[in-house]
Amino acid sequence: MATWNSRGLRGSTLEEFINHTNERYTDMGLALIQKIPTPITPVQIDQSNRHITLAYFDKVSTVDYIGAVQGIPICFDAKECRADTFPLQNVHAHQMDFMEKFERQGGISFLLIYYTAREELYYMRYKQIRKFWDRAQAGGRKSFRFDELEPGWFMKLKNGYFVPYLDYIQKDLDCRD
């Protein structure tokens, strides 16, 4: 069974930016996106500051966020990466399965990847992560390199914290067959 400890805060900066962005999108009437909590069972609690230091995941989660943008269902996961190589082990089979089923139902699935050392934010369409995933499943690389990414899908944070992913959802829609 998987456990959570202090490494569980990885990705919290990006998630804070996304949570703030989602609040703004909701306030503006553009989207309704919710963070999906990962259910855990605490095992150890540091009584001095009342923080959970060890816990078990109750069940596998799907993705970090789910909701609707102007009537279009979307789901996505937020990932942070320190290096120029993104290990596919950071994306789980149950997440890929969920995103595939979501896409089949007419939704849009994607990853938001923040390359922390470069301070670069990338919108990865489901179609692209599927290509890398399938390559790994066929015995190829178990990761993808920064230089394999499509240049037109990098986004800049607005005002240093606002993640303009709605622009990229529209671009994603425009690219679909």
pLDDT above 90 covers a percentage of the chain that reads: 68
The response to whether 26 counts as a known ligand-binding position is no
State the pTM of this model: 0.82
Q: Which of 86, 82, 75, 80 is nearest to 136 (CA)?
A: 86
- Pick 42 or 122 by higher pLDDT: 122
Long-range contacts of 123-126 (CB under 8 A, 24+ apart): 123/153, 123/154, 123/155, 123/165, 123/168, 123/171, 123/172, 124/149, 124/153, 125/153, 125/172, 125/175, 126/99, 126/100
- Measured CA to CA, the distance from residue 144 to residue 129 in angstroms comes to 9
The response to whether 77 counts as a known ligand-binding position is yes
CATH assignment of 3-175, among 3.40.1350.10, 3.30.70.20, 3.40.50.720, 3.40.50.10470: 3.40.1350.10
Query: Mean per-residue pLDDT for 98-125?
Result: 95
Beta bridge partners of 31: 69
Query: Mean per-residue pLDDT for 18-25?
Result: 95
- Over residues 63-107, the pLDDT tens digits come to 999 999 999 999 999 999 999 999 999 999 999 999 999 999 999
Q: In the prediction, which pLDDT does 177 show? A: 67
